[in-house]
Each structure stands twice: as structure tokens, then as C-alpha cells.
């Protein structure tokens, strides 16, 4: 069965589920996007690694990586292999130097580990056909789609991701030194969402 490589495109609040986030994966060699709703803890775990932040204490996914590396186990790839009633199923392909072993995992956990092990993320063509959306005409693919209301929800998730960061100007009035102090405080107190916004502002200032 043909596998399609995915990249992380964006991560933002979900407009359709309170307390959840929209993780959007994009086809590496195409225009299709795969939105996945995940929990806040997993969203923070993914965002922290993408932003290269250093929590004061290891998170669960950091602990898993340290444990695996201590015993010479690596994660070679993550595969999103099924979609049943709106739920994505994923597995880790692990290697201990002599054999490959597949381990079932929640998709959000699998992706949080993928960014830590710097390994590729794949899915199958049939999943992209049934749940993917195409950016060019903003029209979801035609096979196996949910109803119109759910399609609208998916498009809203994409709009949220595309606009993420565009309105984060609450820290623009702060000095760089103030932001650095606030960033460290946010990390120490494990307010990772706030830390992410502060880091974005600092990065923007470096580019300008």
C-alpha cells in the first residue's frame, strides 16, 4: 500500500472543540492537508519540541525518548495507518539494532515522539483521500467525506492554523530583556503556551 510522507504545517486552538487543538499535517510533495484534533497536553508537547524549548523538568515524551535511547532503541518512523469513525490510528516503527517492532500509539503521542526522534511521518493514500483537504480550491477530496457541517468545521480548523500567530501582538510593547525574563518565568512555571507566544515575538525581532 502506497505511503505518503507528511510534514507538520501548523498547530492552533480548535474552534470546534473546547480545550482541544488542531494539528495540521501537510503532504510533503503535494497540496493536501490532514487536520487532526488533539488534546492540550499533546499539543504542548509537540509545540515545545518544535520551538526547541527546554522545560524545567522532562515531559512524558522526553522521558520516553531518554528511556529508549538509554537502551539503544530508536523510532525510525511514525505511520498513521487507519481512520475509523473520525479517529486516526498510528504506530511507531522502532528498532533496537537487530529488528523492527511496530508499537500502537495515539496519533498525537506518536507525532510528539516523531519530532523528538526527528523521524518521518507517513500515512496511506486512502486516508488522505478520505480526510484530506486541498488548499488550491479549499475543497475537501470527494471520497468518504463527512457531511457538509463537518466539512465546514475542517475548513475552519485550516483557517485557524493559517492565521495562527498573525494576531499575537500582546508582547510588542515589551522590551527584549523583559520578554526574555518573561520567557524564562513561563518555562519555569510550565506555561508553555505563553512561552511559545513570547518565543515567537523574540524570533520576529531577530529577523527584523
DSSP string, 38-67: EEHHHHHHHHHHHTT---SS--HHHHHHHH
In a domain, 155, yes or no: yes
Residue position matching grid coordinates 484534533? 37
CATH number at residue 75: 3.10.690.10
What mean pLDDT value characterizes the chain? 79
Q: Cβ(201)–Cβ(168) under 8 Å? A: yes
In a domain, 171, yes or no: no
Q: Mind spelling out the 3-state secondary structure of 123-135?
A: EEHHHHHHHCEEC
The pLDDT of residue 15: 63
| Number of domains composing the chain | 2
The pLDDT of residue 10: 85
Its pTM surpasses 0.75: no
- If asked whether residues 154 and 65 sit together in one domain, one would say yes
- If asked whether residues 106 and 202 sit together in one domain, one would say no
User: What's the alpha-carbon Rg for the chain, to the nearest Å?
Assistant: 18
Domain range for 55: 3-163
- If asked whether residues 35 and 108 sit together in one domain, one would say yes
Among residues of the chain, what percentage have pLDDT more than 90? 37
Q: Cβ(7)–Cβ(121) under 8 Å? A: yes
The pLDDT of residue 109: 96
- If asked whether residues 14 and 40 sit together in one domain, one would say yes
What is the rounded average pLDDT of the residues 187-204?
69
- If asked whether residues 142 and 191 sit together in one domain, one would say no
- If asked whether residues 92 and 129 sit together in one domain, one would say yes
Amino acid at each position: 500500500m502506497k505511503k505518503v510522507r507528511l510534514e507538520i504545517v501548523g498547530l492552533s486552538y480548535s474552534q470546534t472543540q473546547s480545550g482541544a487543538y488542531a494539528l495540521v499535517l501537510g503532504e510533503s510533495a503535494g497540496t493536501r492537508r490532514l487536520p487532526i484534533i488533539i488534546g492540550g497536553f499533546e499539543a504542548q508537547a509537540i509545540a515545545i519540541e518544535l520551538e526547541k524549548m527546554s522545560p524545567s523538568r522532562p515531559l512524558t515524551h522526553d522521558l520516553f525518548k531518554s528511556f529508549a535511547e538509554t537502551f539503544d532503541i530508536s523510532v525510525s518512523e511514525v505511520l498513521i495507518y487507519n481512520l475509523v469513525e473520525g479517529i486516526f490510528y498510528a504506530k511507531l516503527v522502532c528498532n533496537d539494532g537487530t529488528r523492527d517492532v511496530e508499537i500502537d500509539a495515539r496519533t498525537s503521542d506518536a507525532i510528539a515522539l516523531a519530532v523528538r526522534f526527528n523521524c518521518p511521518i507517513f500515512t496511506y493514500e486512502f486516508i488522505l483521500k478520505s480526510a484530506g483537504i486541498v488548499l488550491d480550491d479549499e475543497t475537501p477530496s470527494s471520497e468518504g467525506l463527512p457531511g457538509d457541517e463537518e466539512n465546514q468545521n475542517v475548513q475552519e480548523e485550516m483557517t485557524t492554523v493559517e492565521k495562527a500567530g498573525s494576531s499575537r501582538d500582546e508582547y510588542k510593547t515589551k522590551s527584549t530583556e523583559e520578554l526574555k525574563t518573561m520567557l524564562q518565568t513561563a518555562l519555569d512555571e510550565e506555561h508553555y503556551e505563553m512561552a511559545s507566544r513570547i518565543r515567537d515575538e523574540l524570533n520576529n525581532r531577530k529577523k527584523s
